[in-house]
Structure 1
Amino acid sequence: MWREIRPDERFEIDVDGHRVVAYSFGTGSETVFCLNGGPGLPCDYLREAHSCLIDKGYRVVAFDQLGTGASDRPDDLTLWTIGRYVEETETVRKALGLGKVHMLGHSWGGWLAIEYALTYPENLKTLTLEDTVADMPHLILELERLRAALGPETVAMMQKHEAQGTYNHPEYLAAVTILNYRHVCRLPEWPAPVRRSLDDWNMAPYETMQGPNEFLYIGNLKDWNRIPDLPRVTLPVLITTGEHDELTPACALRMKLALPNAELKVFANASHMPFYENPQDYYPALLDFLARHEAG
């Protein structure tokens, strides 16, 4: 089960003239390399949820992506592209001498992990895609379905504010808050690492790549779709999702059907963060998958 653990090592890595900070836990020969969601979030929420894997003999590595956490925050919107983040991820892996890793990507980190796996498949033993998608246009349709549950008047109100660009209007924010508690984290009190990441959110990468909130995709990834390319990812893949996930089980199934060597776990009573919402089911599923593929 997750708990707050101090990293054993902290690294500062040069990525094209910018400083990126990485964290390492444990000394195991098998490395779980974590790519957190956002974009624009510090890695705290995912790092704290997975550093406990050291109890099972794994080394766990996470990093604050450029623009987040302790890493540099350059004021240059052209930096916020998925291709640049793929190269940043590879730079971190090489700088730390990680060799072949078990890559684990959550949410936006899953999109990044898919791009990485298509670019550098030789560096991976396994791929874990958590609460993520590979087809953004399909996700946008699914988000419309989730929004529709709020009722036609509320949806019309949201569409009005989106057309006007008034994303900070109280009634619009209230609707987004309801959706967040239904589909992002269903716990009455969100865990401290989640709050810490959210409180330090850099909205510049997020708005550039995704949009103003979790339920409106208008950034540079709005047309991203890697489903046609997933048959090239032949390594073992674990796909996880919550039954109430904003990145829905239908999106997860779409990935599973396209991947030649994938398994899918849907966690009950959970949305976008099963590692916090349903840890008693999440950790056994992840550990079983990793144990079966330790040799790569």
Structure 2
Amino acid sequence: MASISTQEGFAPFRDYRTWYRITGSLESGRLPLVVAHGGPGCTHDYVDSFKDISALDGRLVIHYDQLGNGNSTRLPEKGPDFWTVDLFLEELDSLLAHLGIAHRYAYLGQSWGGMLGAEHAVRRPAGLKALVIANSPANMHTWVSEANRLRRDLPADVQATLLRHEEAGTITDPEYIAASRVFYDRHVCRVSPWPPEVARTFAIMDEDNTVYRNMNGPTEFHVIGTMKDWTIEDRLHLIQAPTLKISGRYDEATPEVVRPYVEKVPGIQWVLFEESSHMPHVEEKDLCLSTVSNFLKEHDGVE
């Protein structure tokens, strides 16, 4: 098999830099795919497998680290007022312009990346020809409610440990982190041990959790950051781009979490991966990537 070219670079954004990596080339004529990671505050590493779509269908695949994360400019001194949805929408527009693809592209966002993608899509950008929303909520109140419902199914001692540390404010205690991992192993990534690229994202977040801490909070089910009241439910009908929604059978993004997308985005397709939780691109990689590739191929001819 011929090797696929990769290229890394930095796009200027405000006074900062956004790191990106390009896999493949534009010569195929297929829609270039921009892949946005979750969090807010993760890195591109754990969604790295989507680059292999380039090998499947010749498509250009672009990963990037959002501002404050990974290889992009880190800003640990910035507080909650700085980290906004509008900031990341502006960064996305800046990246698309820098890469020269703003007139024609596809977008895939995982978890928070899908929330960002929905915010992008309701603005009806002319260049967005296909949208994939992976494992994303449409309303953070529903997300937290469902996460805590799943949490009540954890072993009693794990629940007690979580509650004790939350009440004491000791959520950085190793015991609390270990108890949280029980939830993550059930509902975030069921591959054990975690693949290196997944572990790498979490290790980087352990070094610098500025964005996640400010926008989300300490854990998936203890959301106290600036996104705690976010919703896009009442705007989903505005999305015009062809849309694919994916989620996992054991996903923290439960059917109730994804329901607004399924009911309100015109013409949306929904695929549920039976052996996956929050990362079908890791847990059922081949099936997930082929599903996304086949969806995008349906819209490659759109100009």
Q: TM-score range by the shorter chain?
A: over 0.9
Q: Which amino acid aligns with 1:169?
A: D
Which residue of the partner structure matches residue 53 of structure 2? Answer: 53
Alignment partner of 1:70: what SS?
Answer: coil
Q: Which amino acid aligns with 1:23?
A: R
Aligned equivalent of 1:196, options 196, 200, 213: 200
Q: Give me the whole-angstrom Cα distance separating, in 2, the residues matched to 1:181 and 1:254.
A: 26
Q: 1:190 to 1:267 in 2, by over 3 A?
A: same
Aligned equivalent of 2:254, options 248, 269, 282: 248
Aligned equivalent of 2:25, options 24, 27, 31: 27
Q: Give me the whole-angstrom Cα distance separating, in 1, the residues matched to 2:178 and 2:64.
A: 32
Task: Report the number of matched residues.
Answer: 291
Aligned equivalent of 1:185, options 173, 185, 189: 189
Q: 1:295 to 1:6 in 2, by over 3 A?
A: closer
Which residue of the partner structure matches residue 129 of structure 1? Answer: 133
Which residue of the partner structure matches residue 76 of structure 1? Answer: 78
Which residue of the partner structure matches residue 285 of structure 1? Answer: 291
Q: Give me the whole-angstrom Cα distance separating, in 2, the residues matched to 1:73 and 1:169.
A: 25
Q: 1:7 to 1:162 in 2, by over 3 A?
A: farther
Deviates more, 1:195-204 or 1:180-189: 195-204
Which residue of the partner structure matches residue 105 of structure 2? Answer: 101
Q: Give me the whole-angstrom Cα distance separating, in 1, the residues matched to 2:42 and 2:59.
A: 24
Alignment partner of 2:240: what SS?
Answer: coil
Which residue of the partner structure matches residue 221 of structure 2? Answer: 215
Q: Which amino acid aligns with 1:275?
A: H
Deviation at 1:157, TM superposition (A): 4.2
Q: Among the aligned pairs, what percent are the same residue?
A: 31
Q: Which amino acid aligns with 2:228?
A: K
Q: Give me the whole-angstrom Cα distance separating, in 1, the residues matched to 2:60 and 2:169.
A: 44
Aligned equivalent of 1:91, options 94, 102, 118: 94
Cα contact 2:36–2:63 (8 A) shared by 1: yes
Q: Which amino acid aligns with 1:80?
A: W
Unaligned runs of 5+ in 2: none
- Relative to the length of structure 2, the TM-score reads 0.91
Alignment partner of 1:221: what SS?
Answer: coil
Which residue of the partner structure matches residue 68 of structure 2? Answer: 67
Alignment partner of 1:105: what SS?
Answer: strand
Q: Give me the whole-angstrom Cα distance separating, in 2, the residues matched to 1:189 and 1:158.
A: 22
CA RMSD of aligned residues (A): 1.7
Q: Give me the whole-angstrom Cα distance separating, in 2, the residues matched to 1:190 and 1:158.
A: 22
Q: Which amino acid aligns with 1:38?
A: G
Deviation at 1:200, TM superposition (A): 1.3
Aligned equivalent of 1:236, options 232, 242, 249: 242
Cα contact 2:108–2:132 (8 A) shared by 1: yes
Cα contact 1:42–1:68 (8 A) shared by 2: yes
Deviation at 1:251, TM superposition (A): 1.3
Deviates more, 1:215-224 or 1:74-83: 74-83
1:168 partnered with 2:172: yes
Deviation at 1:166, TM superposition (A): 1.2
Deviations 1:250-279 (A, max 9, x none): 212221111112011110111111111112
Deviations 1:96-134 (A, max 9, x none): 101321100001111111111123532210110001111
Deviates more, 1:35-44 or 1:87-96: 35-44
Q: Which amino acid aligns with 1:122?
A: A
Q: Give me the whole-angstrom Cα distance separating, in 1, the residues matched to 2:17 and 2:289.
A: 32
Q: Give me the whole-angstrom Cα distance separating, in 2, the residues matched to 1:271 and 1:7.
A: 31
Cα contact 2:4–2:24 (8 A) shared by 1: no
